[in-house]
Amino acid sequence: MPARRFKLPPALDKVRGVIHRFGHRRAQAVRDWLGRKSAVGNGEIIASDAFPWVAELEANWRVIRRELDAVMAMRADLPPIQDLSPIQYGINSDKTWKVFGLTAYGRAAPQNCARCPDTARLLQSIPDLEVAFFSVLEPGAHISAHSGIYKGMIRAHLGLIVPEPREQVRMRVGGEMVFWEEGRCVVFDDTYRHEVWNDTDGVRVVLLIDVPRPFPPVMAAINKAILAIARASPVAGAVHRRQRAWEEAFYGARQGQAS
């Protein structure tokens, strides 16, 4: 017999709602404060010239694309994002968003990086890189509207494969609409609600990158300490274990086939 769901009395349920709304307002106030302190402003889309490494990635995008093309030959075996990070189930659960992990919580995925050595070398030049992976959206994919929880990070997408018609593969960030271009980076604040569609018959791939948000020196030091705590969290540990297990299973199977 299934367990009965416990229901709070109406008065306590109302109190819980007030606490939740109060917590949300406090969290939003903190995000707004961090945005005001940011050295790159608080807009949805951020000028890419604030990050010197963007120009280097764009100049070498064809190098990255060549390595991606080899990865795409094994596209059917790539894990959906929720297999590596279960917290993503809420925004995509139909396995149409696949990933090839390169760095997570500051730690490189050794076998995947060895498969893409030039891409890995370019990523190593990005100061304090937190996250990097090839983000693969299958035809018809939809990533539900969601938002990042911490304002101390900035996200970038380097367009690598953008199918036509281009206007049908897009991302809304707050009140802005993004249409990717191959070889171009878009830098944005993922704490604004964002939603992604691939309404084409082709596959869209970007190199997704997370880096610390630029702050004045004291705030930058505090932000670095907070991100260090996140790197040591159980969530980070779970992602690392899942990534390592996928690499061991995938590359182990390929070695077995070759022998």
Assess if residue 221 is contained within a domain.
yes
Assess if residue 17 is contained within a domain.
no
Assess if residue 34 is contained within a domain.
no
| Domain extent for 156 | 45-258
Assess if residue 39 is contained within a domain.
no
Assess if residue 85 is contained within a domain.
yes
DSSP string across the chain: -PPPPP---HHHHHHHHHHHHHHHHHHHHHHHHHHHH-TT-S-SEE-GGGSHHHHHHHHTHHHHHHHHHHHHTTGGGSPBHHHH-GGGGGT--SS-EEEEEEEETTEE-HHHHHHSHHHHHHHHTSTT--EEEEEEE-TT-EEEEE--S-TTEEEEEEEEE-PSSGGGEEEEETTEEE---TT-EEEE-TTS-EEEEE-SSS-EEEEEEEEEPP--HHHHHHHHHHHHHHHTSHHHHHHHHHHHHHHHHHHHHHHHHH-
pTM for the complete prediction?
0.86
The tens place of each residue's pLDDT in the chain, 259 residues long, gives 333 444 444 554 444 444 344 445 566 676 777 777 788 989 999 999 999 999 999 999 999 999 999 999 999 999 999 888 876 655 666 789 999 999 999 999 999 999 999 999 999 999 999 999 999 999 999 999 999 888 999 999 999 999 999 999 999 999 999 999 999 999 999 999 999 999 999 999 999 999 999 999 999 998 999 999 999 999 999 999 999 999 999 998 776 665 5
The CATH number assigned to the domain holding 177 equals 2.60.120.330
Assess if residue 36 is contained within a domain.
no
Assess if residue 20 is contained within a domain.
no
Assess if residue 56 is contained within a domain.
yes
